[in-house]
Chains A and B, each alone.
Chain A
Amino acid sequence: MRSDGAPTLHHDDLNRLRWRCTRRAFLELDLLLGEFLDQRFNGLTEEQARAFAVLADLDDHELWPLVNGSQTCDDPQQAAVLAMLRESRENPA
């Protein structure tokens, strides 16, 4: 972890995450997760980065309702990341 709390993923881990964010079953999630990774991931705390990785590992039919807001998420870290994910599209960096 960096001194400012931001995630310090190794090249291999980041690229693995990138592949799992941008080669999904749903085009919608390819687009959303890929852009978030490029534009916002570096601003996450270590805990938020872990929460993002957990979300990225969900099946698309589990993740999409959480992303589009038709279902809510009980985990506070994941809920925070989901809110940032939605906000990143509504107000692009």
Chain B
Amino acid sequence: MSYSNIAVRKFDAVIVGAGGAGLRAAIQLSESGLKVAVLSKVFPTRSHTVAAQGGVSASLGNSEPDHWTWHMYDTVKGSDWLGDQDAIEFMCRKAPEVVVELEHFGMPFDRTDEGKIYQRPFGGHMSNFGEKPVRRACAAADRTGHAMLHALYQRNVRARTQFFVEWMALDLIRDAEGHVLGVSALEMETGEVSIFHAKATIFATGGAGRIFASSTNAFINTGDGLGMAARAGIPLEDMEFWQFHPTGVAGAGVLITEGVRGEGGILRNASGERFMERYAPNAKDLASRDVVSRAMTTEINEGRGCGPNKDFVLLDITHLPPETIMKRLPGIREISIQFAGVDPIKAPIPVVPTCHYQMGGIPTNYKGQVVVPVGDEPNVPVPGFYAAGECACASVHGANRLGTNSLLDLLVFGKASGETVVEDLKQMPAEHRSLPADAIERTRERLERLDARSGGESEYETRLALQRVMQAHCGVFRFKDKLAEGVEKILEVEQRVGKVAIKDKSKVWNTARVEALELDNLIEVAKATMISANARLESRGAHVRDDAPDTAERPNGRNDTEWLKHTLWSRDGNSLAYKPVKLEPLTVESIALKTRSY
């Protein structure tokens, strides 16, 4: 296949990804009269934002007094003080504005009797700086993400945003001065590659939860934006921080809610022992998520897991009367039959701690500009490059995300990145900067490698190996030796990724080629995660190490003296650098460090 006559399509701005962040950014640009292209691997309303159920947080105070400074406090505490307080202030202050704006876009929020947006309580949402729970989550039943995405999409249709559906962005294009000039992209229907030449490029590609064997993330979440950024020399920030849920169906990742343990479900190891009695004698199976996840991981790591690979434990409700299961847990029974192949009335459900959300990502400031260290300055904007949503690290989630802040992140930073592009473009010359002669070289090399190789590694087997290494060595509870071994193993997997061969060499709808290109992105995220986690010698938020335990000197294993800093992993040499956490908010006093406890 020849890649010599590449079409060049010129836009003011190109947005990669059409989930919540991409669509919110696109509204800002299109309504400003700019010529915008939005690229998406799927139809926009198929984006993973649709799966978000819980809600979006904003201190509207519709049901009881609330204030953005209380929301800010909860977010900083949730982040275990790794979040940047300027970005967190910006997000929490903007929350009421973006939520009301979304309502005006047609979002069908649940209502109070007075017609205001209904707000429900949510874990970690507190009034008066941690005093008591407050109702701050705005929702549309259990379909908040779905309703949000449809409202944003319709608004884009009105603004005549141009969508390129079932296109996969392949590589970021930068010139010799480091300016970002757009992306190369593959149209799946034709197999043709084009250059999207733009003055501004916004990445809104979502997370990369598919690096783990057990993940709640849909298959689409392959970290494409992170892979492209890493290959173009942009470091990835705080990639060691991933949120996990204790009970996903082993092998599938589909969530089993905590309600099952609430109804009397018991976790058992290979010998049938109720192991939580040893780890949490009082709360047992109802201990908090992190305690349960760590206990499960310890059982598996010490050889007491179940199945041929001893890599899961069992969630047992067979002692409950069948009528109780049918009445109170019908959805869970259905999921268990469908995804674990067992009827939980007759047999226990195989479960493992399961990856859910990525806190790290492409480093940005609160304006959505991608920032990198230059000399002594840690946060210098990369001209023409912006990012928002789960693929970005602003950093508002720090070491652990507060529930409902993910949808808020999409709205606030999607809008902010769009606003910043509009302002930055006013300062730029009318003409696009010239594309470098080697604009397509990286993409050409990747595609020609797949076209030419007749034999090599299987994409499917290599992806599986990557996911298994990440799950076994860098899961919810981390061990020094396992991490060190994991670094070696993931670098071995990287060698295999470089040798992947595909049998199908056709152009049109070649899904094997697309999956191999996705794997190029997954491996960058996996390396960043493993290497960053191996290096961070403390426990903080979602990064919990066995060798950094809870002590009187270091509560929860957190070490602010040495580790109150952001990690920056670079693909070149797998090198690590660090930059300070921004402890100074924009207008209010800093929220002082203290032990995180609930």
Q: A residues engaging B (CB < 8 A)?
A: 11-13, 15-16, 18-20, 22-28, 30-32, 34, 59-61, 68-69, 86, 89-90, 92
Contacts and interface: CB of A to CB of B under 8 A. Distances in A.
A27 B216 contact: yes
A23 B217 contact: no
B50 A27 contact: no
Contact of B338 (A15, A26, A89): A89
A11 B506 contact: yes
Contacts of B42: 20, 23-24
CB-based closest 10 A-B pairs: A25-B50, A15-B509, A30-B219, A12-B509, A89-B338, A12-B508, A23-B220, A27-B218, A15-B511, A16-B509
B539 interface: no
B185 to A, nearest CB: 16
B219 A26 contact: no
Interface of B: 41-42, 45-51, 143, 146, 166, 188-189, 215-220, 252-254, 331, 334-335, 337-339, 341, 506, 508-511, 514
Contact of A28 (B146, B339, B511): B339
A25 to B, nearest CB: 4
A19 B337 contact: no
B508 A61 contact: no
Contacts of B510: 15
Given A19-B166, A59-B45, 8 more contacts: A15-B509, A23-B41, A23-B42, A25-B218, A34-B219, A69-B334, A89-B337, A90-B338
A68 B188 CA distance: 31
Given A23-B42, A61-B50, A31 B252 contact: yes
Nearest to A29: B218
Contacts of A59: 45-46, 50, 146
A31 B339 contact: yes
**Interface of A: prevailing SS:** helix
A68 B338 CA distance: 9
Contact of B218 (A20, A26, A61, A86): A26
Contact of B46 (A16, A24, A32): A24
Given A15-B511, A32-B338, A68-B331, A26 B51 contact: yes
Contacts of A19: 166, 188, 509, 511, 514
A81 B514 CA distance: 28
Contacts of A12: 506, 508-509
A20 B50 CA distance: 15
Nearest to A17: B509
Nearest to B251: A31
B511 A89 contact: no
A28 B254 contact: yes
A11 B41 contact: no
18 contacts: A12-B508, A15-B509, A15-B510, A16-B189, A19-B166, A24-B218, A25-B48, A25-B50, A27-B217, A27-B218, A27-B254, A28-B254, A31-B339, A32-B338, A59-B50, A61-B143, A68-B334, A90-B337
A24 B339 contact: no
Nearest to A91: B341
A89 B218 CA distance: 18
A45 B254 CA distance: 31
Contacts of B331: 68
B566 to A, nearest CB: 30
Contacts of A86: 338
Contact of A92 (B217, B218, B220, B341): B341
